[in-house]
Amino acid sequence: MEETAGEFRPGMVCCGGKLYLFDRSGVTVVRPWGPPMAWRRTKTQPWRHVRPALFTLAGAASLAWEDAAGDAAGASVDADAEKRVSPIVEAFSVVPQEVRAVVAAFSERHFALLAFAHSCGGPGLELLRSNPALGFMVATNWIWHKPAVKRPQRSARSLVRKKRRDILAWLGFPRCGEAEVRILGRIPAADVRVQMLFYLREALGNPAVVRALGFTPLLNRHVLRVAADQALFPCTAPSLLGELSRIVPSSNRSGNRATRGPNVRLTSAGSISAEAGWKAIHEMGDTLRMYADLGRAAAPPCFRSIDQVERLHHEATLAHRREIGRRYLGAEFPPPPLPGVENIIPVTTPEMLLAESLEMGHCVDSYAGRILDGGVYIYRVTHPERATVSVVPRGGWWRLEDCLGPGNAAVGQDTKYEVLQWLAKTQEGLPSAANTLVGLENLGICAEADGYAEEDDTPF
């Protein structure tokens, strides 16, 4: 029978112990356990093995991964949300509770972690518990080892029996001592991500980074972001790293999430909010850029605390605005690379840029030189909330660099969705991989599993 687009209705269903994920271009079939396997078929390609990007599982974590009794104080679950994820709950109920509890702590690569847990059993689970980052890298070993292995699960079974220093060497770390092993062991599972680990692996070749992280209590995403940045780390004092380490983990299931807002510094538990941490890191980079633009690069500041970062950023912003008035006002910006719409308006003159900076309470005016060089363009967003957007040229497309509210505060998902939809509509043919839809369901995204499957099977 000839297939049409109407035959693939987006959605998901559990049948015969397998999870079927339908999108507009095809269907993905996932067998969660025994061992975990996945296949995909589209209108133009036959069935093939894949590694599904099952980030829909993260949204169903409290239902599919953990027992209701294990959640804090009986958090209420939206009935519609429960209905949407019920196929995931049913399909993954066959996964042992012990495995689900370990895998649930991570924020990505759930399918690879399930396959690793099934293949390596107790030793694999123990590695994931005791050193989440190292266990994660073993579970995704084809990413780290060059050339990529053809039988990742066989390699994983061999690696879990080795000394951890030897595992680091196999994974390509420049230094493979006990200090590096302990550093990886202090990274919470919720903050383990592939992109972060790439930067961290390179940064751990610097003995100064190893020493600094060795004395930092908790190595969350904020600490690692600074440590892996070659510009920020030399200007960061240990006291600031210690302050950033007190930030509430990004995947906190206890319900004590940080309150949103540009001026919120502490959570109810006394820890620093994630928003305050990202705002400080953003301001550190802005401050260094403004120092360079003002000719002060030879004497960069030393960032010692979040409060001091805010003060230095404010002082640099005032000095830079005076410089903007002298150097850039009256200059002619290049035409906007993407047409604006009613609620996303291009900033086309230095005067508009300075007005945007003053109105929003941030230092977007420091981007004037980059705009003149063609390295970035700024747009003002008026709806669904007030925000400032910067887009940068990457690979022939204009990509979203930042979307921030007043005072560099985080914006809501509706605003991000609106901006990303605008980018897609104004650039015909923009690949979906070049326009990440943060927080949106996209059931059909899969990665080809070259050499991954260790079992030749069919989905039915």
Instruction: Give me the phi and psi of 167, to 5 degrees please.
Output: -65, -45
Residue type, 163: K
Q: What's the confidence (pLDDT) of residue 237?
A: 96
For residue 330, how many other CB atoms are within 10 A of its CB? 9
Provide the token pair at 309.
């970062």
Q: Is the pLDDT of residue 112 over 80?
A: yes
Q: Is it true that the peptide bond before 35 is cis, omega within 30 degrees of 0? A: yes
If you compute the radius of gyration of the chain from its CA atoms, what whole number of angstroms results? 24
State the Cα–Cα distance between residues 288 and 308, nearest whole angstrom: 14
In this predicted structure, which of 5-19, 141-155, 176-190 has the lowest mean pLDDT? 5-19
Provide the token pair at 169.
């060497």
SS3 state of residue 140: coil
For the segment 61-88, what is each residue's pLDDT rounded down to a tens digit?
433 444 433 443 344 445 665 666 788 8
Write down the domain spans for the chain: 5-215, 330-434
Q: Is the pLDDT of residue 365 over 80?
A: yes
Mean pLDDT across the chain: 81
Provide the token pair at 262.
């540009």
Instruction: Give me the phi and psi of 41, to 5 degrees please.
Output: -135, 135
**Which has more confidence, 102 or 440?**
102
Half-sphere exposure in the Cβ direction for 361 (13 Å, CA): 10
State the Cα–Cα distance between residues 449 and 37, nearest whole angstrom: 10
State the Cα–Cα distance between residues 250 and 377, nearest whole angstrom: 30
Instruction: pLDDT band for 181, please (50, 70, 90 cuts).
Output: very high
